Amino acid sequence: MKKAFLVKKGDIEIRDVDKPTLQKDDDVILKLVRASVCGSDLWFYRGIDSSSSDNSGHECIGIVEETGSVITTVKKGDFVIAPFTHGCGHCAACRAGFDGNCQSYQDIWSSDCQAEYVRYQHAQWALVKVPGQPEDYSDGMLASLQTLSDVMPTGYHAARTANVQQGDTVAVIGDGAVGLCAVIAVKLRGAKQIILLSHHEDRAQLGREFGATDIVEERGDDAVKKVMALTHGDGVDAALECVGARQPMEQALQMVRPGATIGRVGVPHDEQFDLGVSWANNTSIAGGTAAVTTYDKGVLLKAVLDGEINPGKVFTKSYKFDDVAQAYADMDQRKTIKSLLTF
């Protein structure tokens, strides 16, 4: 089968490798229908994180090809979302709705998902069954289902951990696919005013379509001033940090009203910030790895299937799997918000 490898910084290539096989009782082998490139893949591609060349991609949907001996929840031929988090569904973390921190297993994140087949570990509870077969769905719906393997639940996690409530005023920092999905999540949870910090017109436009009521184009302290002005000096009820860098976190700390919560989902890079500011303002800082299976089974799959949300629009370009190198390059150069891979 074909599998993508990050050979070196900025260089992705497809190699022929053996098809994965069942290694453990709770493994499932999936034949992929869609995969995608994640913002976090770009950290490796750009050489910012040290790369592991056999670890490309963690987002996919597919068809069950083979099941381990203890798997009873899915069978060969089922169409499934493969969350990048592999929870057990019964430990304390999973029961509390934090399956991205499952306490039962060591290897709880997906890897090797930019390939024709993938070995999905700890599949019994984690996989999310989709009704019917891929042929029953439009390309747009398949794109939305693909977001349920990571970015949409990750955006939802920002909103949930920031405790976004009906009627809230919320700032979303970051206009990548996760930030845009966070806008969808914030709207789904009933926020009244949704302020998206965005420096790119195409992303801002999609943000508006997803429910953003205000766009802040300014950077740094000017962005904070603009958010304060838009909230009549109050500050926001919740801020969602969807980048994973120092400046957005500092902005979040400065734009929240006293007693507000910040939900962080950007993978931290250079995460130092002044906790004194949060004490002075009674700010709660929450967030971390998303609970993908929890949200998909809870609200998100239904919202997608009902057409209530359409997160697949973050894929502004689609590529045949053979063109995976172009999919990375275009996303790196911001020619697409997020790259979808088809097989």
Judged on CB neighbours under 10 Å (0-12, 13-18, 19+), 43 is middle
Is there binding between residue 37 and Zn ion (CB under 5 A)?
no
CA distances to 31, 212, 253, 319, 329 from 53, rounded to whole Å, are 21, 38, 36, 21, 17
> Closer CB to Zn ion, residue 99 or residue 168?
99
Is there binding between residue 102 and Zn ion (CB under 5 A)?
yes
Is there binding between residue 94 and Zn ion (CB under 5 A)?
yes
Q: What is the phi/psi pair of residue 273, to 5°?
A: -155, 165
Residue 315: name the closest of 5, 111, 61 by CA.
61
- Applying CB under 5 A, the span of 13-21, 145-153, 200-208, 297-305 interacting with Zn ion comes to 145-153
- Applying CB under 5 A, the span of 4-12, 80-88, 242-250, 327-335 interacting with Zn ion comes to 80-88
> Closer CB to Zn ion, residue 106 or residue 138?
106
DSSP 8-state secondary structure symbol assigned to residue 112: -
Residue 236 token pair: 């926001």
Residue type, 203: R
Closest separation in Å from C-beta 80 to Zn ion: 17
Closest separation in Å from C-beta 169 to Zn ion: 28
Closest separation in Å from C-beta 39 to Zn ion: 7
**Site for Zn ion (CB under 5 A): which residue of 78, 150, 168, 237?**
150
Is there binding between residue 314 and Zn ion (CB under 5 A)?
no
Q: How many residues bind Zn ion (CB under 5 A)?
A: 8
Place of tokens 């430990």: 91
Closest separation in Å from C-beta 102 to Zn ion: 3
**Measured CA angle at 279 (ends 277, 280), to 5 deg:** 65
Here the contacts of 89-97 (C-beta below 8 Å, separation 24 or greater) are 89/124, 89/125, 89/126, 89/293, 90/125, 94/125, 94/294, 97/291, 97/294
What is the number of residues in the chain? 343
Q: Is 24 in a helix, a strand, or coil? A: coil
Q: How far apart are CA 160 and CA 152, in angstroms?
A: 12
Closest separation in Å from C-beta 58 to Zn ion: 6
- Applying CB under 5 A, the span of 81-89, 183-191, 272-280, 294-302 interacting with Zn ion comes to 81-89
- The helix or strand, by DSSP H or E, that contains position 175, with its residue range, turns out to be none
Residue 169: name the closest of 198, 190, 199, 197 by CA.
190
Is there binding between residue 88 and Zn ion (CB under 5 A)?
yes
**Site for Zn ion (CB under 5 A): which residue of 55, 101, 104, 316?**
104
Q: Of all residues in this chain, which one has the CB nearest to Zn ion in the complex?
A: 38
Closest separation in Å from C-beta 167 to Zn ion: 31
- Applying CB under 5 A, the span of 103-111, 191-199, 255-263, 285-293 interacting with Zn ion comes to 103-111
Closest separation in Å from C-beta 155 to Zn ion: 11
Instruction: Name the residues that contact Zn ion, by CB under 5 A.
Output: 38, 87-88, 91, 94, 102, 104, 150
